[in-house]
Structure 1
């Protein structure tokens, strides 16, 4: 039996591949055993769908397409992407830690504080080796402070009543102390023990007596001049009478003698008055000289006192370390007694009681015009990886008007402290560094895409 499928004339008619010059080329029939419903590798049903797709498929396809498009637009409008400007930031205390450094080289013979100890301002922290005995210098410093205070307040009598003890182990301060001690003893002997006061009292009494004598001599001279005027009148009258022979020459001479005696008395009183005036002026000169001497001695004492106090302060600066402010001591490195220290070596930091802090941020000039005070800042601490600890939110509080090295300085505050986005509260440590990002404009993806599209069209 022949298994080949005969080709019908109709199939041959409808399966003509093409014509060339009016000649028909029949399409070769599919091999034996193939599915007669597949033609050209496609099933009949699929061919029918592709040639005539159903209306429901078209409708649902369009609906799904526009639905996805609307969903993408909604998501792009809802998802916001902030525009950031980056910079470097350092977190510092509002009252920055104060460093304590050595002013001279030497061996550390006294360490008076421990790490973490709270101290007062001016409290001694360390002592370097010196030729002077520190306790004698401390006692002398207290004494000089008391004397300076008394002299400035004008309580000189109390200042001279202070007992100045002898010091023999002041080292480099010994010479300044001896100069002060000599001036103090001399001034105290002249002023403090009453010598100058007694001398002034005597001079003032003499001046007062001379003033009283001056008044008496002036009154006496005035009376004598009046008497002389009367005697002169009698003399003139007797002289006229003597010319006319009404009085004798003896009476005339007696009148002349009285006149001359009165005149001599007036001249003597005038001389006494002048001498008394000179004596009074001399007493005033002595009083002025006494005041000048007293003032010079007091000024010399104050000068030596100030010089000694200055020497003591210089000694303290060279050989002692003091707390510049109240706060907590933080050791820069491990130090111990008998350790040799170098000049300018940092020993401690004094951390202030003030817990306030903020961020110092440096910003470049790229997109600087978009930055405004009050904008939010995202801070990523270098010491606390933000992938694990989260970020900190801050706010711009100040922007400098003048750049330095092409960068602007800005102040960042942290309203919520060092609380991160993962709800962790970090411990403040002065000098923490970070990367900061300023949110200049929080826009959606749709707005950014539309802005870029408009920028392309404007070009």
Structure 2
């Protein structure tokens, strides 16, 4: 930028000699100094008491501000959305599938009992047939295996999507009954036992023969010893001695043969016993496998029936009163996830409870026992006031970035303006949580510390 040059004429000072010609100033810095001098000359020098008391006033003002910052306290207000309900809240019933409401057995505000059938959504199965099958399965599921083979399952049932599971069950039941009642293994076991009995009798006979033969051997051995003595006296020939000895050896061979045969019979009896054990084990294993499979089929079919009931039946979850959120008629089409009705609990719903969802931001400041001002959406707080509550509990872990707060509500909804509010289930509003009071000075210092440490 170009520097602009200005020309000023400086009046002559009284302390200087008068000069005929005025001095011309062209330097910019000299011009500024000259301007300050001219302003000072116009205003004059301020009195010293103004400077002295001005500093004192500024100091006192700063001290007053610090004192106010120390004395004045106010809390942080943390908002959270809140829904008012009760300890035993009403239960909303939603359609689990889409279709026509084939059966509607209740009316609005009708009293009901737990597990009462309220309606049926149209499907390909007959409710009465499904109920009959469920009753039959619950009756036989705890029966012993030998009794399962004797049961007669119901026929001619209209089961719709449950038909495949029922067919598998009936097939396994028929197989089990056939296996339980067939006599093939029993015949084999009886035949083996007969063989064992026959071999046992043979061994008894062989044992008797062995005893008789042992006596004959003893006689033959005595005769042989006598022949040997007579041979020494030359009373008998050597051939006669050899014949006596041969007779002894032959009898011993026959005895050994009988003993071997009896031993073989014992081994055969052991083999037959093992065969019988195998047949019994195979029968028992097959019976157990088929019994377990049949039990599993029963449980699977009961599980499928339960899923069918949850999908198509509208059952009362508890005693209470029916409330229709909208007009509901028989043969009306309902969509999956659509609210069909609400069950209001019977015999009182307990104390009022506020469920608030607190965002994670600033959630660390919220503690149990803190006061809460609830602004109900349906009752503008400028006109009706707010409802007082306190924080009863806070969830340990967040869900979806929010903590669940349970608020302790008063027995009656009376606002700070003294206006009573009629409670309705699931009233919504904003809960302003009042945290601990903090001084203004602390808040200012916190900001400075944050700037210093987090830069």
Residues 276, 425 of structure 1: CA spacing in aligned structure 2 closer, same or farther, 3 A cutoff?
farther
- Contact 1:218–1:273 (Cα < 8 Å) also in 2: no
Q: Secondary structure at the match of 1:248?
A: helix
Q: 1:291 aligns with which of 284, 287, 290?
A: 284
- Give the deviation of 1:263 after TM superposition: 1.0
Total equivalences in the alignment: 366
Partner of 2:257: 264
Partner of 2:131: 138
Partner of 1:378: 373
Give the alignment's TM-score, normalised by structure 2: 0.64
The yes-or-no answer on 1:93 pairing with 2:86 is: yes
The yes-or-no answer on 1:116 pairing with 2:109 is: yes
Q: 2:426 aligns with which of 424, 431, 452?
A: 431
Partner of 1:340: 333
User: C-alpha separation between the residues in 1 aligned to 2:357 and 2:304?
Assistant: 44
User: C-alpha separation between the residues in 2 aligned to 1:381 and 1:340?
Assistant: 35
Q: Secondary structure at the match of 1:167?
A: coil
Partner of 2:310: 317
User: C-alpha separation between the residues in 2 aligned to 1:455 and 1:299?
Assistant: 75
Give the alignment's TM-score, normalised by structure 1: 0.63
Partner of 2:45: none
- Contact 1:228–1:263 (Cα < 8 Å) also in 2: no
Alpha-carbon RMSD across the aligned residues, in angstroms, is 4.5
User: C-alpha separation between the residues in 2 aligned to 1:316 and 1:123?
Assistant: 12
CA distances 1:23-69 after superposition (whole Å, capped 9, x unpaired): xxxxxxxxxxxxxxxxxxxxxxxxxxxxxxxxxxxxxxxxxxxxxxx
Partner of 2:231: 245
1:388-407 to structure 2, matched below 5 A, reads 389-400=384-395
Residues 209, 365 of structure 1: CA spacing in aligned structure 2 closer, same or farther, 3 A cutoff?
closer
- Give the deviation of 1:173 after TM superposition: 3.1
- Give the deviation of 1:260 after TM superposition: 1.6
Residues 339, 408 of structure 1: CA spacing in aligned structure 2 closer, same or farther, 3 A cutoff?
closer
User: C-alpha separation between the residues in 1 aligned to 2:140 and 2:328?
Assistant: 37
Q: Bigger shift: 215-224 or 328-337?
A: 215-224
- Contact 2:185–2:279 (Cα < 8 Å) also in 1: no
Partner of 1:55: none
Q: Secondary structure at the match of 2:431?
A: strand
Partner of 2:14: none
Residues 344, 221 of structure 1: CA spacing in aligned structure 2 closer, same or farther, 3 A cutoff?
farther
Unaligned runs of 5+ in 1: 1-79
Q: Bigger shift: 116-125 or 377-386?
A: 116-125
- Contact 1:377–1:394 (Cα < 8 Å) also in 2: yes
Q: Bigger shift: 164-173 or 335-344?
A: 164-173
User: C-alpha separation between the residues in 2 aligned to 1:223 and 1:136?
Assistant: 74
- Contact 2:90–2:344 (Cα < 8 Å) also in 1: yes
